[in-house]
């Protein structure tokens, strides 16, 4: 590490990650890529085996107790399920340092939920990563709470950038982001399953049909990202008049493809709001 890089790393605040599951581990990996020294990162996780695995993989510190991890940290990352969040906040409230930035990756709960349960004035940033973040291809939104500044948002973005795309949205758009990005990997997998089944029905071997669908979707997404063209334009290019693709698209439209996708997105938004109301209750 160069002298300049070492100085930059030393200026980064220490981080406590509460929750060492898949997303917690993904965020730890992102922090290390972003320049946080292992000695500045501590994960709190009840399971000893998982703690040891994270220490071995990333060269960080670990604690069984969340209070021990949070005490003195400049950033507290909350990577537990929404249903566990109230209990976690009650546990760590008195250990959160004045001015420490709290970043939460839990769905449904508004920033006000955290602000009401943490010391007055605590800056909170909500981050909504999706599961492709695990392989550095995620789409994450960040939204500031009442006390989060431009500097807090920039710090959160720096931490999360190694997970993939990071965008800022107002908090009132978080539920829409969940519908479009947070839950959408499952939509993709469901469509891949459906296309695979269609291939099998047409006589393809299941493994071959899966491989073809997977590679085609991966390539199509890459082409969309790199071409600069809109989805509509790319769709038109493969939809020759009177051809097979146009026939397929017309059949899907007749079957209600747009309505199905909209129904799924609407249901995701409604459930996020419902869950938030129940847990904040």
Tokens describing residue 166: 């990071």
Q: Are 141 and 172 in contact (CB under 8 A)?
A: no
- Residue 10 pLDDT greater than 70, yes or no: no
pLDDT in tens, 93-105: 999 999 999 999 9
Nearest to 183 by CA among 82, 274, 81, 267: 267
Cα gap 233→106, rounded to integer Å: 36
Q: Are 75 and 99 in contact (CB under 8 A)?
A: no
pLDDT in tens, 193-231: 999 999 999 999 999 999 999 999 999 999 999 999 999
107-131 average pLDDT score? 97
Arch. (CATH architecture) of 184-277: Orthogonal Bundle (1.10)
**CA separation, residue 234 to residues 137, 240, 253 (Å):** 22, 12, 17
Residue 11 pLDDT class (50, 70, 90 cuts) = confident
Helix axes 82-92, 257-280, angle to 10 degrees: 30
Q: What is the DSSP string of 119-169?
A: STT--EEEEE--GGGGGT-EEEEEEE-TT--HHHHHHHHHHHGGGEEEEE-
Say what the pLDDT of residue 280 is.
Answer: 80
Say what the pLDDT of residue 5 is.
Answer: 47
Q: Are 45 and 54 in contact (CB under 8 A)?
A: yes
Q: Are 52 and 23 in contact (CB under 8 A)?
A: no
Domain with CATH 1.10.3730.10 in the chain: 184-277
Tokens describing residue 226: 């790199």
Say what the pLDDT of residue 4 is.
Answer: 43
Domain with CATH 3.40.50.720 in the chain: 3-169
pLDDT in tens, 28-53: 999 999 999 999 999 999 999 999 99
- Residue 141 pLDDT greater than 80, yes or no: yes
152-172 average pLDDT score? 97
The answer to whether domain 3-169 has CATH 3.40.50.720 is yes
């Amino acid at each position: 590490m160069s002298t300049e890089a070492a100085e930059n790393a030393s200026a980064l605040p220490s981080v406590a990650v509460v929750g060492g599951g898949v997303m917690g581990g993904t965020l730890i990996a992102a922090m290390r890529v972003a320049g946080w020294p292992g000695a500045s990162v501590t994960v709190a996780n009840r399971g000893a085996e998982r703690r040891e695995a994270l220490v071995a993989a990333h060269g960080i510190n670990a604690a069984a107790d969340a209070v021990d991890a949070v005490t003195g940290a400049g950033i507290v990352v909350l990577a537990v399920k929404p249903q566990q969040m109230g209990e976690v906040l009650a546990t760590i409230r008195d250990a959160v340092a004045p001015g420490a930035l709290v970043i939460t990756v839990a769905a449904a709960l508004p920033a006000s939920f955290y602000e009401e349960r943490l010391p007055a004035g605590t800056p909170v940033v909500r981050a909504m990563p999706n599961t492709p973040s695990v392989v550095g291809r995620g789409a994450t939104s960040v939204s500031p709470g009442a006390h989060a500044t431009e500097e807090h948002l920039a710090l959160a973005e720096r931490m999360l950038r190694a997970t993939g795309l990071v965008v800022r949205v107002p908090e009132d758009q978080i539920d829409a982001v969940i519908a479009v990005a947070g839950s959408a990997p499952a939509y993709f997998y469901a469509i891949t399953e459906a296309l695979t089944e269609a291939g099998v029905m047409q006589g393809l071997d299941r493994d071959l049909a899966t491989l073809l669908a997977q590679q085609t979707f991966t390539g199509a997404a890459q082409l969309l990202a790199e071409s600069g063209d809109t989805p509509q334009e790319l769709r038109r290019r493969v939809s020759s008049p009177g051809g097979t693709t146009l026939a397929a698209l017309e059949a899907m439209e007749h079957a209600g493809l747009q309505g199905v996708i909209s129904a799924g997105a609407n249901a995701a938004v409604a459930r996020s709001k419902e869950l938030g109301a129940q847990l904040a209750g």
